[in-house]
């Protein structure tokens, strides 16, 4: 069935790189997404990657996609305290518009 898995917690020091990992099950998703949720707020789309790409870079964010292993990662370079949030990966099986989310990874950034 459809399932997206993430580790629940990551703690890094300010200035370090953060890597958040995700595994998914459905190979029909055309796009895979990373959303960010700050405390008390809704989700905001951070970035996405098209399924025929291996990597996408957007300023401090790098997304890596390994389709063979169904593994997605989000790297945040030079992590700042403002990056502290919950990060969700999501797939869209069959491109139906329905998103399947992982449990979310809480990123804690220590000064």
Partner 1 sequence: DAGITQSPRHKVTETGTPVTLRCHQTENHRYMYWYRQDPGHGLRLIHYSYGVKDTDKGEVSDGYSVSRSKTEDFLLTLESATSSQTSVYFCAISEDEYNEQFFGPGTRLTVL
Residues near partner 1 (CB under 8 A): 4, 8, 30-31, 41-45, 48, 88, 92, 95-104
Residue pair 11/108 in contact (Cβ under 8 Å)? The answer is yes
When the beta carbons of 57 and 95 are compared against partner 1, the nearer one is: 95
Per DSSP, the three-state class of 33 is strand
When the beta carbons of 30 and 80 are compared against partner 1, the nearer one is: 30
Q: Closest separation between CB of residue 65 and partner 1, Å? A: 18
When the beta carbons of 59 and 96 are compared against partner 1, the nearer one is: 96
Give the E-state strand segments of 1-111 in sequence order. 4-6, 9-13, 18-24, 31-37, 43-50, 55-58, 61-66, 71-76, 85-91, 100-101, 105-110
Q: Closest separation between CB of residue 40 and partner 1, Å? A: 8
């Amino acid at each position: 069935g459809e399932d997206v898995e993430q580790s629940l917690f990551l703690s890094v020091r300010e200035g370090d790189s953060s890597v958040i990992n995700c595994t998914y099950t459905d190979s029909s998703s055309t796009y895979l997404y990373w959303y960010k949720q700050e405390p008390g707020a809704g989700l905001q789309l951070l970035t996405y990657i098209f399924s025929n790409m291996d990597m996408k870079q957007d300023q401090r964010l790098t997304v890596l996609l390994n389709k063979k292993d169904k593994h997605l990662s989000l790297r945040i370079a030079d992590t700042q305290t403002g990056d502290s949030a919950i990060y969700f990966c999501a797939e869209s099986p069959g491109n139906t518009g329905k998103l399947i989310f992982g449990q979310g990874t809480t990123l804690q950034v220590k000064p």
